[in-house]
Amino acid sequence: MNNIKRLPALLIFAEVAKQQSFTLAAKQMGMSKSAISQQLKRLEDDIGQQLLSRHTRGMSLTAAGEKLLGRCELLRDQVELVIEELDSSRETPTGTFALTIPHSCEKDVVVPALGQLCKEFPLIQPQIHVTDSAQDLIQNNLDVAIYGGELKDSNYRALPMGSASEIFCATPAYVQKHGLPHQLHQLQDHNLIATSWQKSPLAVYSNHELTKKISLDVNFFANTNTLPSALEMARHDMGIVLLPEFTVQSAFASGKLVRVLPEHQGRQWPFYMVHRFQGEKPIHITRFYQLVKHYFAKANARV
């Protein structure tokens, strides 16, 4: 079968999954609810797999639907971008694309986003500076910065990517040797590893009362200025570390780290893409923002 004919159904599926509602998707796309339902039924029949599970509480994606959605979201963004590019008659971007990013977003967010961006705009030349320190865009001749934390006042444009919370973790070997803390005050009896953005008193929150901050006085065993070194210190059984949850998921999956004090978490960190363009953004900047939002959400969905 000619797969081109399935494109409208794929885009409809992406909108239904996004809205979690046939009615809202129909309204958004200017179609009838029955037409939306028929398109999805035909798509499921064509591919021989169920994509949506309908139940009394609404709907949910099946495993096949989850897999397809990631592709369809990118497809939808590409269609919108093509129309935008044709409407604005802009030239294909070329030359250097300079950006600074924190270590936390390097592997699962920025590099996949750049990989897709370079497929769509093969004439751009990415230059990445990875650091957990804030960099001035103009002074360092940068186009874009990925930034985690509350933004300071500036003349740059900030676009929200999402947020991520910090969790305590350590290796099974460290826990076996030193025991598992069950109360926050017991962290005083453990080796606590600090990153450059963590100071005493440490801001901690109960999972059941996220609006109430607990200021925890701690004595740090070790300090480091980068997230990767804090993670590696923990992986070498040196102590307990507090890091954004999505950055330690692969270590959890492999059993190299386990969660400590699961009833508590650290700060909720907002993430932004900051750019220096005051007027209309170049099209590859717009597309990069779409991609980093997509991969950031995907990384957080695994936690």
> Do 95-161+271-301 and 164-269 agree at the fold level?
yes
Over residues 163-188, mean pLDDT: 94
CATH of 164-269, one of 3.40.50.300, 3.40.47.10, 3.10.20.810, 3.40.190.290: 3.40.190.290
Going across the sheet that includes 209-216, the strands are 209-216, 202-206, 264-265
Tens-digit pLDDT profile for residues 284-295: 999 999 999 999
The CATH number corresponding to 3-88 among 3.60.10.10, 3.30.1180.20, 1.10.10.10, 1.20.120.420 equals: 1.10.10.10
Q: Which residue has the higher pLDDT, 66 or 294?
A: 294
Cα–Cα dist 188/197, whole Å: 19
Q: Where are the domains of the chain?
A: 3-88, 95-161+271-301, 164-269
pLDDT for 275: 94
Q: Three-class SS string for the chain?
A: CCHHHHHHHHHHHHHHHHHCCHHHHHHHHCCCHHHHHHHHHHHHHHHCCCCEEEECCEEEECHHHHHHHHHHHHHHHHHHHHHHHHHHCCCCCCEEEEEEECHHHHHHHHHHHHHHHHHHCCCEEEEEEECCCCCCCCCCCCCEEEEECCCCCCCCEEEEEEEEEEEEEECHHHHHHHCCCCCHHHHHHCCEEECCCCCCCEEEEECCEEEEEEEECCCCCEECCCHHHHHHHHHCCCCEEEEEHHHHHHHHHCCCCEEECCCEECCEEEEEEEECCCCCCCHHHHHHHHHHHHHHHHHHHCC
Look at residue 281 in the predicted model and tell me its pLDDT: 85
> In this prediction, what percent of the chain has a pLDDT beyond 90?
50
Model confidence pLDDT, tens digit, residues 234-290: 999 999 999 999 899 889 989 999 999 999 999 999 999 999 888 788 999 999 999
Which comes out higher in pLDDT, residue 133 or 187?
187
Write the pLDDT tens digit of every residue in 185-225. 999 999 999 998 899 999 999 988 888 899 999 999 999 98
CA distance 140 to 100: 9
Tell me what the pLDDT averaged over the chain comes to: 88
Could you tell me the sign of the dihedral formed by the alpha carbons of 77, 20, 55, 61, in that order? positive
State the CB neighbour count (10 A cutoff) for residue 239: 21
The pLDDT score that the predictor gives to residue 7 is 78
Report the CATH fold assignment for 95-161+271-301: D-Maltodextrin-Binding Protein; domain 2 (3.40.190)
pTM exceeds cut of 0.85: no
